[in-house]
Chain A
Amino acid sequence: MLTCKELVAHSSDYLDGQMTLRQRLAVRAHLAMCGNCRRFIRQMKLTQAVIRQMPEDELPELDALAERLAQARRHND
């Protein structure tokens, strides 16, 4: 039987689909019985979503770079 500590240690593998079917079933069986770990996994998914949606740094010289590359391209031919 998987412990909570082991579940946490393998949580990223679970979230990334890096588990065998057997390991996956063991995680599911644990989650069915353990509210704390269900909450942990839910919050890990939320953590992933937060990272995904954090605003990216603006690119200050976007236009200048685009102009340089377009010019380089035209001179390339």
Chain B
Amino acid sequence: MSDTDLLDRLLAGEQKAYRELVARYQGAMRAVAYAIVGSRNADEVVQDAWLAVVRSLSGFQGRSSLKTWLLTITANTAKTRLKHNRREVLLDDLAAPHGTVGEERFSDDGHWLLAPHAWHQDSPEALLTEDELRECLEHTLASLSELQASVLVLRERQGLELEAICNLLDISLSNARVLLHRARLKVFATLEHFEETGQC
């Protein structure tokens, strides 16, 4: 269903349309809230954002996509809550369960010392059939900082452009690139570890 069709039904107050809206966008909204206010207040911010969405629905002009509009409202709701204690953008890297692809993998001249091994599976579907690996990946994602996890989710799962992520979260492009890269390498390290050892 297109945004326009959905919007008409939302304006009419049709419950099924709201179900569809929430199912489609709540994940992305939660990632935005999580990045800005942290896990403790994220759910409350998302609830407030939904009410703000309902209040201003008639004013939605379609100048941006519905998704961008919803995420902007979420970011604004989160920032209002945060106004008096704006957090620093933390680039500090927390340790992940299986580390990362670090310096120790390379020789002084920059060649691989410990090159990546071939993995047993070469499709995401095949990899994700392993329950233990799925749990292991959840564990790695949970080890990321709130901001790092959100940037990863917004980019990979929600398919947002880096520039859009920067605008929503008020971070610079270079910070977003660092956060995303480090997050990916940690997930990579978990997959690699599991493919090599067969355990988490």
State which of B64-72, B80-88, B181-189 sits at the interface with chain A.
B181-189
Q: How far is the CA of A62 from the CA of B145 in the complex (A)?
A: 27
1/0 per position for A28-68, CB-CB distance to B under 8 A? 00000000110110011011111111111101001101110
Is A44 touching B184 in the complex (CB atoms < 8 A)? yes
Of the candidates A36, A59, A65, A73, which one forms a contact with B112 in the assembled complex, judged by CB atoms under 8 Å apart? Answer: A36
- Cβ-neighbour of B15 out of A13, A51, A67, A76 (below 8 A): A67
Whole-angstrom distance between the alpha carbons of A3 and B113 in the complex? 12
Map CB proximity to A onto B8-23 as digits: 1 under 8 Å, 0 otherwise: 0011011111110111
Taking the complex as formed, is A22 at the interface, i.e. its CB lies under 8 A from any CB of chain B? Answer: no
> How far is it, in angstroms, between the C-alpha of A5 and the C-alpha of B24 when the chains are bound?
39
Using a Cβ–Cβ cut-off of 8 Å, how many residues does chain B contribute to the interface with A? 55
| Candidate in B13, B128, B157 with the most chain A CB atoms within 10 angstroms | B13
Number of CB contacts from chain A to chain B under 8 A: 134
Indicate whether A12 sits within 8 Å of B184 (C-beta atoms), given known contacts A4-B106, A47-B191, A69-B18: yes
CB-based contact B26/A52 at 8 Å: no
The majority secondary structure among interface residues of chain A is helix
Q: A70-B18, A73-B57 are in contact. List 12 more A-B contacts (CB 8 A).
A: A8-B105, A47-B184, A50-B124, A51-B187, A54-B137, A59-B26, A66-B21, A70-B14, A70-B15, A73-B13, A73-B18, A76-B55
Residues of A within 8 A of B (CB): 3-6, 8-9, 11-13, 16, 18, 36-37, 39-40, 43-44, 46-57, 59, 62-63, 65-67, 69-74, 76
